[in-house]
Amino acid sequence: MERRLFRILDAGTDAKRDYLLAILSGVLLALSFPTPGLSLLAWFALVPLLLAVSGKSPKKAFRLGFAAGVVAYGGIFYWLNIVMIQYGKLPWFLSFPVFLLMVAYLALYLAVLAWLVRKGEERGIPLLLAFPVLWVALEYVRSWFLTGFPWADLGHTLYRTLPLIQIADITGVYGLSALIALANAVIYRIIRGLTSQERIFPTRGALLLLGLLAGTLVYGFYRLNEPRGTDTIRIALVQGNIDQSIKWDPSFQEATVSIYERLSREACSKGADLVVWPESAVPFYFQTGGSDASRITGLAGELKSCMVFGSPAYDMVEGKVKYLNSAFLLSPAGTLLGRSDKVHLVPFGEYVPLGKLLFFVNKMVEGIGEFSPGEKIAPLDTGKGEIGVLVCFEGIFPEIARKYVQAGSRMLVNITNDAWFGRSSAPYQHLSITVFRAVENRVPLVRAANTGITSIIDSKGHIQGSTPLFREAVLTGEVVLGRGGTFYNRFGDVFAWACLAASIVIVGLSFRKRNGRVG
């Protein structure tokens, strides 16, 4: 039996077996993310891929890694077709190639990882060192390359495992990605030890993994048991559930305002310091005034609460109109206290990259003109404390949240319109990522979403309340304000930079022959 198992797992010429193992890794990895969010799978999801590439040439490892990546990211990001077909109005024969192109791009990262790991092993670089370091480095590169897309990082699978994710206030999500990647490498080496004739086990690697897990848990429980602050703010989050097909219809503006008026009165029946509406909840230019704008300012006065809501805005710059995706803050008296503009826009959603060259490309989503990015990070002062507003997918970028907290924000507010995703996994994935913004900076994060998921997340990452998808809803709660000042907030991605630097060394060593010449 043992010899048979050895023959199955050992490096060989059975290409079908290798690709089946790679595909299995892709499936397990996809299932690790919401939904279904089987986070336990992440700890060994990559083991089949490591078994498949064992003993293979770097070129074959590249192909196997690419296959695993296509399956994984195809499963995680299937909802891109909903955005392009249902809302972007692209026919399937155009949307599907675009989807495959996006998946292929993401799969390249896993392919390059497998290639570099095998290249390093050929030069004697231990897998237990190279695999987690290279994984983090490539995740970090993906977070900023080509405007960045830090979605579905390996560490995001642990967003509900509170004792482990507390380490994010030091390492960011990348520390958790490294821990999971190391676990996969150790499990792989244990399996190889059980099935090889040499019986070589990764004793030091296993002890290192156990030590890191224990240390992370001890730190996590310490952070979870820390006393909370005393400064609080009462929040009322409003989920209007406005159908995307009529959201920008001028004839529906009055009805939209009426829905938010009714829900806001319901939410504030017991009082609230701050009422939050979602991104583009006001589907017209609030700053131009008019009867609908007056109703909103009057509502703030009636409720005697500050109000934050999303609305398109515009500025005149050198005689040209500049359109912005913005959040406005009203005082309890209905006066305008400030505006915060979205600084990181969605490519092909809010603007077309290389617009002059790609003049034939239409944006995937509806809106008013082509947006421009805001020029600065602008916290808004509620009188109870300053808040940083993350508009839509700005919540997936840790550096934006860091800057808001560094500028004095004691709470992060994510206003979003996840209606584009339909009834898919994407709203749950989006929520899981924003949990880390709260932990990294030790400030609460509240999010108001047009169709859900609206939620309250405390500074320790606990989701204290959430709403169902595609229903009118209100969510209220008392939130303890944070003060930031974490290592991660002050110094950023030091851990990721260290992994990137180490990866450069690993790559350099991997491409040198043993006699010192470049290979």
Q: Which of 451, 433, 443, 390 is nearest to 415 (CA)?
A: 390
Rounded to an integer, what distance in angstroms lies between the CA atom of residue 106 and that of residue 101? Answer: 9
302 is catalytic: no
Residues contacting 128, CB < 8 A, separation 6+: 182, 185, 186, 189, 202, 205, 208
Integer-rounded Cα radius of gyration of the chain: 25
List the catalytic residue out of 119, 322, 342, 460.
342
279 is catalytic: yes
Q: In what order do the strands lie in the sheet with 455-457?
A: 380-381, 386-391, 411-416, 445-449, 455-457, 463-466
Rounded to an integer, what distance in angstroms lies between the CA atom of residue 336 and that of residue 313? Answer: 14
List the catalytic residue out of 121, 279, 350, 440.
279
Four-CA torsion 329, 468, 154, 146, nearest 10 degrees: -50
Q: How far is CA 239 from CA 49, 388, 476, in A?
A: 42, 20, 11
The secondary structure of residue 518, as a DSSP letter, is: B
Which tokens sit at 183?
Answer: 């676990």
Which tokens sit at 293?
Answer: 């704008």
Specify whether the CB–CB gap between 417 and 279 falls below 8 A.
yes
List the catalytic residue out of 268, 306, 392, 499.
392
Which tokens sit at 485?
Answer: 């000042």
Q: How many CB atoms lie within 10 A of CB 94?
A: 12
Distance of CA 507 to the CA centre of its chain: 28
Q: How far is CA 513 from CA 53, 55, 294, 295, 517, in A?
A: 21, 18, 73, 73, 5
Strand, helix or coil at 259? helix
- With residue 473 as reference, give the H or E element that holds it: strand 473-480
Rounded to an integer, what distance in angstroms lies between the CA atom of residue 349 and that of residue 216? Answer: 39
320 is catalytic: no
Give me the active site residues, please. Answer: 279, 342, 392
